[in-house]
Amino acid sequence: MQPPATIADLPTRVRLFPLGGAVLMPRAVMPLNIFEPRYLAMVRDAMASDLMVGILQPRGDWEEDKPDLFSVGGVGRISQYSESGDGRFLIAITGLARFRMVQELSVTTPYRQAEVDYAPYAADWSPAIPLAPVARASVEATLKAYLEAQGLSADWDAVKSADDESLVNTLSVVCPFVPAERQALLEATTLPERASTLTTLMAFSQGSDSDNTLQ
């Protein structure tokens, strides 16, 4: 199946995959290990139709059977798919656009579905607004101080060579922010706004001791 040509081609009815501590940014790639029966069914249905899945963060305990969800998420297309030998699906989802959930639908599928609206994030379909040089320098300087304070390290050649969107979105995903902070990054309307939010969070975040290397 061909990918959507315009944002108008995206489905307004979306399969929902609640995922704690994770956000799907436009043009970002999210690898997933699918093993729960309801989400195995979701992937099967997506593979048999439009390949689309919506990622939303739960507001509270994401391990609940049906947690409350944030209203803004990201829709993506399954771009890689394989089956493991023990019944799991190994997939990758490429982000296409953010959406606002209009209403959750009453469905018979084991997974949740919702009607969504892409209009607030129509600009996602176009290339991101680049950062001003001073904003890019601020991200890199704040990242350096953040890593040093937390005893973390980074591949600085990769940081320097990354385009603005890839750098900001990758840091938004891999830095150990709490769900509400990650949601604020997702909902930032433009890339410069996300970069500003990111530098603020890095400046004040206490970070995490769970990993000593930031790739």
Kindly report, residue by residue over 51-82, the tens digit of the pLDDT.
999 999 999 766 667 889 999 999 999 999 99
The pLDDT assigned to 62 comes to 60
What are the tens digits of pLDDT across the range 32-51? Answer: 999 999 999 999 999 999 99
Give the tokens for residue 121. Answer: 């994030």
Q: How far apart are CA 59 and CA 21, in angstroms?
A: 10
- Indicate if the pLDDT at residue 90 is higher than 50: yes
Q: Determine contact, residues 208/150, Cβ cutoff 8 Å.
A: yes
What are the tens digits of pLDDT across the range 103-116? Answer: 999 999 999 999 99
**Average pLDDT for residues 110-130, to the nearest whole number?**
95
Q: How far apart are CA 168 and CA 68, in angstroms?
A: 27
- Indicate if the alpha-carbon torsion angle 183, 200, 122, 34 is positive or negative: negative
- Cα–Cα distance list, 139 to 37, 65, 125 (Å): 41, 38, 24
Rounded to 10°, the helix 133-150/164-174 angle is 30
| Rounded (to 5) percent helix, strand, coil in the chain | 35, 25, 40
The pLDDT assigned to 63 comes to 67
The pLDDT assigned to 209 comes to 41
Could you tell me the pTM of the whole model? 0.89
- Indicate if the pLDDT at residue 213 is higher than 60: no
State the DSSP code for 36. Answer: S
The pLDDT assigned to 169 comes to 95
The pLDDT assigned to 2 comes to 78
- Cα–Cα distance list, 142 to 93, 131, 137, 138, 168 (Å): 29, 15, 8, 6, 12
State the DSSP code for 68. Answer: -
Report the share of the chain in percent with pLDDT over 70.
Answer: 93
Q: How far apart are CA 22 and CA 212, in angstroms?
A: 20
Confidence band for 204, pLDDT divided at 50, 70 and 90 = confident
- Indicate if the pLDDT at residue 210 is higher than 60: no
151 — alpha (psi -120 to 50), left (phi > 0) or beta? Answer: left
- Indicate if the pLDDT at residue 85 is higher than 80: yes
Q: What is the DSSP string of 166-182?
A: HHHHHHHHHS---HHHH
What are the tens digits of pLDDT across the range 145-199? Answer: 998 888 888 899 999 999 999 999 999 998 889 999 999 999 999 999 999 999 9
